[in-house]
């Protein structure tokens, strides 16, 4: 299955994604993790990418698409992917659609994890203590939430138009959220997807 996981930063996508890939047996592609690795690798692009990450701004579409399309060439991703934090702009979504179309595939479902803003801020500040993520500080959190509303939230309408979106209430316990996600996925699986 080809799944897009949408939701604001701090909604708990990472946690749910890890449980979901185990359940479905498909790989996880988190562009946030990929870009943090680009920074650590100290390549020619590292400083540029680090600047965007530290400000909570989106890395330019061209660079993100180059990295993602390269990764998707690997046979590991033939049967499907759980995209986490990608696409984040309409341009990225359109380019992903075009890429999938070229392979005779398409996005099967979009999970939109919904969490209230005060709770998002609380979760990100608590994560910053536990995981020491650079971009989990007050100023960057505000900027990441603004970027989500301005650039990523329009994707909900983009995918809703095709009837692909499942809205998930993320204000519940992790187990309740996961059970809900599982049910929605099962409902949308084709018989051959369910067999794997
Ligand atoms: P995340 O781990 O998904 O919260 O992403 C962390 C940061 O990586 C974001 O604040 C952006 O700076 C950058 N990033 C991750 N995914 C994308 C993407 N699809 N497009 C542009 N920037 C991204």
* CA atoms of 91 and 111, how far apart (whole Å): 19
Catalytic residue among 19, 36, 79, 133: 133
- Dist. CA 13–CA 17, nearest whole Å: 6
Residue 192 has pLDDT above 90, yes or no: no
What crossing angle do the helices spanning 13-24 and 174-188 adopt, rounded to 10°? 50
DSSP annotation of 109 reads: E
Which atom of ligand 1 is nearest the CA belonging to 60? 21
Class of residue 71 by CB neighbours under 10 A (exposed 0-12, middle 13-18, buried 19+):
middle
Phi then psi for residue 59, to 5 deg, are: -70, 140
Q: Is 88 a catalytic residue?
A: yes
Distance CA 80, CA 5 (A): 13
Nearest CA to ligand 1 atom 6: 32
Ligand 1: lining residues by beta carbon, under 6 Å: 9, 31-32, 35, 52-53, 56-59, 64, 85-88, 92, 135, 144
Give the model confidence (pLDDT) of 7-25 as tens digits. Answer: 999 999 999 999 999 999 9
- Residue with CA closest to ligand 1 atom 15: 32
196 pLDDT exceeds 70? Answer: no
pLDDT at 70 over 80: yes
Question: Which of 50, 76, 73, 75 has its CA nearest to residue 63?
Answer: 50
Task: Give residue-wise pLDDT tens across range 129-165.
Answer: 788 777 778 888 999 999 999 999 999 999 999 899 9
Neighbours of 11 (CB within 10 A): 25
128, 139 contact by CB (below 8 A): no
Q: How far apart are CA 113 and CA 99, in angstroms?
A: 25
pTM, 2 dp? 0.93
Percent of the chain at pLDDT exceeding 90:
85
Where do runs of H (alpha helix) occur along the chain? 13-24, 31-40, 46-55, 61-72, 90-102, 117-131, 138-147, 154-160, 174-188, 191-195
Check if the beta carbon of residue 120 is closer than 8 Å to that of residue 12: no
């Amino acid at each position: 299955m080809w799944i897009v996981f949408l939701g604001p930063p701090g909604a708990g996508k990472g946690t749910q994604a890890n449980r979901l890939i185990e359940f479905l047996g498909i790989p996880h592609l988190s562009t946030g993790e990929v870009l943090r690795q680009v920074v650590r690798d100290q390549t020619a692009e590292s400083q540029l990418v680090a600047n965007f990450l530290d400000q909570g701004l989106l890395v330019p579409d061209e660079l993100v698409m180059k990295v993602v399309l390269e990764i998707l060439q690997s046979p590991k991703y033939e049967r499907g992917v759980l995209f986490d934090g990608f696409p984040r702009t309409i341009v990225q979504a359109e380019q992903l659609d075009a890429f999938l179309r070229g392979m005779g595939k398409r996005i099967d479902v979009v999970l939109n994890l919904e969490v209230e803003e005060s709770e998002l801020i609380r979760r990100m500040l608590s994560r910053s203590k536990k995981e020491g993520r650079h971009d989990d500080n007050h100023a960057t959190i505000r900027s990441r939430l603004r970027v989500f509303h301005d650039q990523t939230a329009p994707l909900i309408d983009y995918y809703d138009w095709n009837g692909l979106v499942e809205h998930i209430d993320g204000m519940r316990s992790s187990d309740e959220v996961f059970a809900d996600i599982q049910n929605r996925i099962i409902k949308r699986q084709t018989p051959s997807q369910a067999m794997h």
